[in-house]
Amino acid sequence: MSLNVPSALLERAEAGPVDDAEFVACVRSSLPYAWQVISGVASALGADGFAEHSVPPPSEAERGQLLRALASDAIRGGLERHFGVTLAFQNCHRVAAFAPSAVDGERYRAFVSPRGQLLNQSPLLRDC
């Protein structure tokens, strides 16, 4: 299970739409490692509109949190809206945040390209 959803929030979701603030709060409490990584890259955006995290997670549990956060369209989208960034992801731990103005830039295109993915491979990353 990706998120620990409080009963009250689940009841509101069953009755209709929930707002992003409630959803993001649920993500933050359910996936604290992923929140830490993503909030870190979002707050570290430089003048070039780019920041990245490339430290492997300390355990499989944290790796799982990051994978769940970035593999879910709803979670990833909620985080991107909350932080005002576009997230990009390689392997099981390399996360980048881009300012919206940098998304069509050279650095973004290089990060999300097949070449960028291939260059980010190493024997140490093959199990992730």
What is residue 106's predicted lDDT score, i.e. its pLDDT?
81
Nearest to 118 by CA among 92, 94, 90: 90
Task: Give the pLDDT mean for 119-126.
Answer: 60
What is residue 122's predicted lDDT score, i.e. its pLDDT?
63
Number of domains present in the structure of the chain:
1
Query: Is residue 42 domain-resident?
Result: yes
Q: What is the pLDDT of residues 43-78, one digit of tens each?
A: 999 889 999 998 889 999 999 999 999 999 999 999
Here the tokens at position 81 are 């809206």
Here the tokens at position 32 are 């604290």
Tell me the C-alpha distance between 26 and 47, whole Å: 31
Task: Give the pLDDT mean for 8-23.
Answer: 94
Nearest to 66 by CA among 26, 36, 22: 36
pTM: 0.85
The residues, ordered by sequence, that sit 6+ positions from 26 with a Cβ below 8 Å of its Cβ are 3, 4, 5, 6, 9
Give pairs for 119-124: CB < 8 Å, separation 24+: 120/90, 120/91, 120/94, 121/91
SS3 state at 18 = coil
In terms of residue numbers, what domain contains 19? 7-123
What is residue 1's predicted lDDT score, i.e. its pLDDT?
60
What is residue 2's predicted lDDT score, i.e. its pLDDT?
82
Query: Is residue 1 domain-resident?
Result: no
Task: Give the pLDDT mean for 80-96.
Answer: 89
> What confidence category does residue 20 fall into, taking pLDDT thresholds of 50, 70 and 90?
very high
